[in-house]
Amino acid sequence: MLFNSFVFILVFLPITCFVYGLAIRIKDKSGIWILILSSLVFYAYWNEKYLCLLLISIFINFLLQKWIYHNKKNMYCKLVLCIGILLNLFLIGYYKYYNFLLENMAEVFCTNFVKLDIFLPLGISFFTFQQIACLVDTYKGDIGNVSVCEYVLFVTFFPQLIAGPIVRATDIIPQIQRLVSNTDSKAIKFGLTLFAFGLFKKVVIADYFSPIANALYSSPEIANFYDALLGSLSYTMQIYFDFSGYSDMAIGLGLLFGIRLPINFDSPYKSKSIIEFWRRWHMTLSQFLRDYLYIPLGGSRKGERRQYINLIATMLLGGLWHGAGWTFVLWGGTHGVYLICNHWWKKKKYSIGKNKAWLITFISIWFAWILFRANNVYDVFYIIEALGGNNGFAWGCSMLSSKGYALSEIVLVLLLSIVVCKYLPNSYNMVNKIQQLKQPIFALIAGVLLTYAMHIMTYTNRVSEFLYFQF
């Protein structure tokens, strides 16, 4: 079930809101169980057989969390924590990386490779990381006693279950414990408007760029300069508005039920450095990698050389987290090199103009997305060669033109999108400003965005998945 589907907007969400509203008026805790049930239905809608896997993962992690909480001074507590982390890593390793590992081992040892029929469970990267963080935070003493219903809802809460943000128990469980029957009308209005913004981003903007990007990456070997340039920039905009839109909808949906999810996007394409970019892009993942990987590795505490090694290691694993493929590893490694260069530049106290800094940062991000999106390493070279003019510069003889795309229209939409990314405030701040307007105007803006997005959904007659569902 997708947020940008009619079954979600017109059936699942209204029923869930209605039943939840009735439940919390009867008894506060009953609202929690309604949200749990709704979240499990939401997840099972995709593939019911992986619901069992999710519940087993929750059951084991909950028992481990309970044991660690009640036995903090036990000499075996750290061992139990390590076992818990390894179990979670084994789960994600098997479903996400097993075939990738076997394939590469087969190439190294020149043996035959038989691919196992392993279907990647949706959201496994997110709910696995959340539970690892919960175990670590419990061990550190940051999390108190948690009931079974509070823990289950923390993991399964449907607005963030499938594609994040990666929430922490320290942020969400206290909110679950404070859920009351009194509804916050301002929060609900804010949430609905933010949801409308997110739906508009996904359906109107991201899905516009999707077929253009797919055209390039499905046949990069025949692309000329304009195909490579416009196609790769289209993906740069697609992934931005797709993931940003999902994050807006997730936060908006959370507010409808009295839970404030963390902001995951803060206008990352405004960044004037790669360091700033990673403070703005997929913020919850960046914070997770920093707190649970980079800092435990030593961070910047053990000298400059060790800091650079830690940066590379963190970003390589961050890239691999996105998918089992060498392109993701290359993408992560590239950003690791970017960060090293950025830190070195800062230490030398060099400076350039703000506009130059933004342009260099944006071009660097755009190039890295080519690595991220390419189907394999060979396709990366095809696109780089095309950008170098290997297949010519003929405007009218491009692959995109032959498929019926108007290149001038793509250029115009790309330029407008870049302007929006660079100059407009993030959705959260925009909705804050809209909320300060008079009530009719506030409702009108939200209504127009929602109506137009649903019109596009009807017109195109298709429901596209969010890009981060595959990670």
- Per-residue pLDDT for 294 more than 70? yes
φ, ψ at 162 (rounded to 5°): -85, -45
Mean pLDDT across the stretch 77-94? 92
Task: Give the pLDDT of residue 379.
Answer: 94
Measured distance CA(224)–CA(430) in Å, rounded: 39
In which element (H, E) is residue 457 found? Answer: helix 439-460
Least Cα distance to 8 among 454, 470, 467, 372 occurs for 454
Mean pLDDT across the stretch 111-140? 86
Mean pLDDT across the stretch 58-72? 93
The number of folded domains in the chain is 2
User: In this structure, are 266 and 159 located in the same domain?
Assistant: no
- Among the residue ranges 75-89, 94-108, 280-294, the one predicted with the least confidence is 94-108
Residue 64: half-sphere exposure toward Cβ, Cα within 13 Å: 25
Give the residue from 131, 152, 182 where a domain finishes. 182
Query: What is the per-residue pLDDT across 184-242, written as a single tens digit (0 to 9) for each?
Result: 778 888 888 899 999 999 999 999 999 999 999 999 999 999 999 999 999 999 999 99
User: In this structure, are 228 and 337 located in the same domain?
Assistant: yes
Query: What is the per-residue pLDDT across 376-415, written as a single tens digit (0 to 9) for each?
Result: 999 999 999 999 988 888 877 788 888 888 999 999 999 9
Least Cα distance to 250 among 158, 184, 380 occurs for 158
User: In this structure, are 119 and 139 located in the same domain?
Assistant: yes
User: In this structure, are 146 and 205 located in the same domain?
Assistant: no
Measured distance CA(308)–CA(319) in Å, rounded: 16
Would residue 415 count as lying in a domain? Answer: yes
User: In this structure, are 191 and 133 located in the same domain?
Assistant: no
343 included as an active-site residue: no
**Catalytic, out of 282, 322, 335, 343:** 322
Query: What is the per-residue pLDDT across 437-457, written as a single tens digit (0 to 9) for each?
Result: 666 677 787 788 888 888 888
- Among the residue ranges 266-270, 329-333, 439-443, the one predicted with the least confidence is 439-443
Sign of the Cα torsion 113, 114, 116, 120 reads: positive
User: In this structure, are 116 and 178 located in the same domain?
Assistant: yes
Give the residue from 157, 182, 207 where a domain finishes. 182
Task: Give the pLDDT of residue 190.
Answer: 86
Mean pLDDT across the stretch 408-434? 88
3-state SS, one letter per residue, for 154-206:
HHHCHHHHCCCCCCCHHHHHHHHHCCCCCCCHHHHHHHHHHHHHHHHHHHHHH
User: In this structure, are 159 and 206 located in the same domain?
Assistant: no
Tell me which residue range forms the domain holding 306.
187-470
Would residue 355 count as lying in a domain? Answer: yes
Measured distance CA(453)–CA(198) in Å, rounded: 10
Would residue 379 count as lying in a domain? Answer: yes
Percent of the chain topping pLDDT 90: 54
Would residue 1 count as lying in a domain? Answer: no
376: which DSSP letter? Answer: S
The confidence band for 181, taking pLDDT boundaries of 50, 70 and 90, is low
User: In this structure, are 322 and 454 located in the same domain?
Assistant: yes
Would residue 405 count as lying in a domain? Answer: yes
User: In this structure, are 329 and 423 located in the same domain?
Assistant: yes
3-state SS, one letter per residue, for 411-439:
HHHHHHHHHHHHHCCCHHHHHHHHHCCCH
Give the residue from 182, 197, 213 where a domain finishes. 182
User: In this structure, are 111 and 200 located in the same domain?
Assistant: no
Task: Give the pLDDT of residue 28.
Answer: 63
User: In this structure, are 259 and 395 located in the same domain?
Assistant: yes
Would residue 45 count as lying in a domain? Answer: yes
Would residue 441 count as lying in a domain? Answer: yes
Task: Say what the pTM is.
Answer: 0.91
User: In this structure, are 176 and 272 located in the same domain?
Assistant: no
Residue 436, burial from CB neighbour count under 10 angstroms (0-12, 13-18, 19+): exposed
Would residue 307 count as lying in a domain? Answer: yes
Print burial letters for 102-127: b (CB count within 10 Å at least 16), e (below 16).
eeeeeeeeeeeeeeeeeebbbbbbbb
φ, ψ at 159 (rounded to 5°): -60, -30
